[in-house]
């Protein structure tokens, strides 16, 4: 078993909510609050939104991040407790995730490059449905999709917007990505596809002047895009810590059985 001293320097970050700020004060008094650059581990206090924000901020640091639920949605968080935190951190298990890399080219030729931990999504910007062409690994797979949009989700993000769009839930270690339409009009019965996580996904916007489309990587948006490229970025590995028995793998599995 890993010795608790492995995580002697803890950095706490918290959402602005009163509940999270109270937890920040309590934990800082009990364990100190190291600078994130010098810390052995970062503990995020809030909901899933704060966890995504923290993962983005420390994406290239290789520091483990442990979330405790002090917000609304807490799918990516552990239960909150201020007791014996260092021992709890030492017993936690690693889940390694890789973000998506989005390269979106807009109508002016400007290229927008962002990372996404949950999903890259394309949305119609006006009342008219988007008209899209889908290319996988340089082979056209769908010449025309008319829909409100489409998204590419990671296993970690498969229980988020992807699930709301009727996409599949992916086990966290599955070497897959979910390609899920958003309110498809034509072909109406197309429910999406499972892709290997090595896939190079290209989505071209057809009739972009008439049917403008925005591309969003988690919370970063590019508008009036003409071409969006998506690939899993294996050069970045992020470490999330979960209590034994409450791993992300277990949460994703449990979600499929409705509890």
> pLDDT tens for residues 190-246?
999 999 999 999 999 999 999 999 999 999 999 999 999 999 999 999 999 999 877
The reported pLDDT for the residue numbered 253 is 72
Please tell me the distance from the alpha carbon of residue 64 to that of residue 54, in angstroms, as a whole number: 11
- Whole-number pLDDT of residue 259: 52
The residue to which tokens 């340089």 are assigned: 138
Q: Domains of the chain, with CATH numbers?
A: 4-98+236-255 (3.40.50.10330), 100-232 (2.60.200.30)
CB under 8 Å to 154, separation ≥6 — which residues?
97, 98, 99, 100, 116, 117, 118, 119, 170, 177, 232
Q: Is 114 annotated as a binding residue?
A: no
CB 68 within 8 A of CB 79: yes
Element (H, E) at 95: strand 93-97
Q: Quote the pTM value.
A: 0.86
Give me the pLDDT at residue 258, please: 62
Task: List C-alpha distances in Å: 227 to 103, 221, 224.
Answer: 8, 14, 10
Low-confidence ranges of the chain (pLDDT < 70): 1-5, 247, 256, 258-259
- Cα-flanking dihedrals φ and ψ of residue 179, to 5°? -105, 110
Whole-angstrom Cα distance, residue 176 to residue 232? 10
Q: Please, how many CA atoms are within 13 Å of residue 212, restricted to the half-sphere of its CB?
A: 10
Question: How confident is the model at residue 71, as a pLDDT?
Answer: 79
Q: Taking a C-beta distance cutoff of 8 angstroms, is the pair 236, 211 a contact?
A: no
Helix, strand, or coil (residue 4)? helix
pLDDT score of 1: 42
Residues 32 and 10: beta-carbon distance below 8 Å = yes
First to last CA, the chain: 30
Catalytically active residues, by annotation: 48
List 176's β-bridge partners, or say none: 196
CA distance 45 to 43: 7
Our CA angle for 37, 38, 41, nearest 5°, is 90
Is residue 48 marked as binding? yes
Ligand-binding site membership of 33 (annotated): no
162 is in an annotated binding site: yes
Do residues 125 and 148 make contact, with C-beta atoms less than 8 angstroms apart?
no
Q: What is the distance between the alpha carbons of residues 255 and 190, in angstroms, rounded to a whole number?
A: 23
Fill in the DSSP letter of residue 5: G
Residue pLDDT, tens place only, 51-68: 999 999 999 999 999 999
Say if residue 78 carries a ligand binding annotation. Answer: no
Nearest to residue 146, comparing CAs of 205, 81, 99, 62? 205
């Amino acid at each position: 078993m890993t010795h608790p001293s492995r995580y002697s320097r803890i950095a706490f970050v918290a959402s602005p909510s009163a509940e999270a700020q109270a937890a920040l004060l309590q934990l800082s008094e009990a364990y100190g609050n190291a600078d994130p650059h010098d810390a052995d581990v970062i503990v995020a206090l809030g909901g899933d939104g704060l966890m995504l924000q923290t993962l983005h901020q420390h994406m290239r640091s290789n520091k483990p991040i442990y979330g405790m639920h002090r917000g609304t949605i807490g799918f990516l968080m552990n239960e909150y407790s201020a007791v014996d935190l260092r021992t709890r951190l030492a017993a936690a298990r690693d889940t390694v995730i890789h973000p998506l890399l989005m390269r979106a080219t807009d109508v002016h030729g400007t290229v927008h490059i962002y990372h996404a931990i949950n999903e890259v999504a394309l949305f119609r910007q006006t009342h008219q449905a988007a008209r899209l062409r889908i290319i996988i690994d340089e082979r056209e797979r769908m010449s025309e999709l008319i829909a409100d949009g489409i998204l590419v989700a990671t296993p970690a993000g498969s229980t988020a917007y992807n699930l709301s769009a009727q996409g599949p839930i992916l086990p966290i270690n599955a070497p897959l990505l979910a390609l899920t339409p958003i309110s498809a009009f034509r072909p109406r019965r197309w429910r999406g596809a499972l892709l290997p996580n090595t896939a190079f996904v290209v989505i071209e916007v057809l009739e972009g002047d008439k049917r403008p489309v925005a591309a969003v990587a988690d919370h970063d948006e590019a508008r009036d895009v003409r071409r969006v490229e998506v690939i899993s970025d294996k050069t970045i590995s992020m470490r999330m810590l979960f209590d034994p028995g409450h791993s992300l793998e277990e949460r994703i599995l449990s979600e499929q059985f409705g509890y």
